[in-house]
Structure 1
């Protein structure tokens, strides 16, 4: 089973994001606070779970967490700030939206900007090590997938219902044929070929 709190004795929020490597759509982040001694053998990195399992666990997370929230940064903000800073902004927005104020933060990966001077830790592959980060990864992924399904109805030729905005062959081919939409990340400078210049600090 994954580990519980990193900062013992503090109300700790775990954070993760979804959608950094996409060519289109917003980046989503989630923050989750569990009871200090919470246990759940089913939680894991969202990438290791089937869609059906992710959505089932989303319901359980929302029931069991003492607080959870979603934060979003738009394609326009990604273009203005770059994808790393937009991802961190989405995390801060998720933390801002929690109904219980955290006293510490743990984050998947190795980059974070201090939040309200709280103690924090970045944990590489943290979504496979800590329960609250794994839960955040599941919430961020499923809520972003829901969003991509909605916007896929506006632009069906890009196959976002299947690729969720990631640079699949079908997505790249549609860009070559139809160009970019307002929901594409313009700063990624998507070239006319299978080569993509993702210079926006992925």
Structure 2
């Protein structure tokens, strides 16, 4: 969630998917340096499994909005749904990251933080190539899953190919306890 400073909006804000890695990184720094407030939130793989991806996404949006140091009067959400439980009015905007500068800024912050988290995961779990595919399955990643199984707290048991083998995720969790 980002509250932009209307007097200092970084140039080049756009849907994070339409920007290069270098453009996102540069804008990330400009957003953090100029925004009135920025907040980030995420939901664990287990949290998504206990709910569903849409509810988890909306909950992360709600948490991010709640974490802002400057409480918003209006929260704009990318997509069709307004996160339930907001402490202010909310509006959903389809393709919001292409229509709203604050949603674009939030999408850039979210993408950069997610990519950095994936790089960190890659350092702990070298076989999977997390730092290279940033959460999108590649042949290398699928091969590593077949060879080494899922990584507890990272792979969602509710997502293929684990849907039918949730026991394997639970067993793998025991072998990864103690890793931060």
TM-score bin (small chain): 0.7 to 0.9
Q: Which residue of 1 aligns with 2:53?
A: 83
- Cα distance between partner residues in 2 of 1:114 and 1:181: 31
Tell whether 2:120 aligns with 1:172: no
Native 8 Å contact 1:165 1:171 kept in 2:
no
Native 8 Å contact 1:34 1:64 kept in 2:
yes
Structure with bigger RCO (C-alpha 8 Å, 6+ apart)? 1
CA deviation vs aligned residue, 1:145-197 (integer Å, no higher than 9, x gap): 111111111111111111112122221122122211102111113169xxxxx
Q: Which residue of 2 aligns with 1:65?
A: 35
| TM-score in terms of structure 1 length | 0.75
Q: Which residue of 1 aligns with 2:100?
A: 130
CA RMSD of aligned residues (A): 1.8
- Cα distance between partner residues in 2 of 1:161 and 1:36: 35
- Cα distance between partner residues in 2 of 1:34 and 1:178: 44
- Cα distance between partner residues in 2 of 1:59 and 1:117: 28
Q: Equivalent of 2:74, from 99, 104, 119?
A: 104
Q: What is the CA distance between 1:118 and its match in structure 2?
A: 2.5
SS in 2 for 1:106: strand
Q: What is the CA distance between 1:122 and its match in structure 2?
A: 1.1
Between Structure 1 and Structure 2, which shows a larger proportion of strand residues? 1
Q: What is the CA distance between 1:35 and its match in structure 2?
A: 2.9
- Structure 1 gaps of 5+ residues are 1-30, 193-202
Q: How many residues align?
A: 162
Q: Which residue of 2 aligns with 1:17?
A: none
Moved more, 166-175 or 147-156: 166-175
Tell whether 2:132 aligns with 1:162: yes
Native 8 Å contact 1:73 1:86 kept in 2:
yes
* Shift in CA distance, 117/161, structure 1 to aligned 2, threshold 3 Å: closer
| TM-score in terms of structure 2 length | 0.83
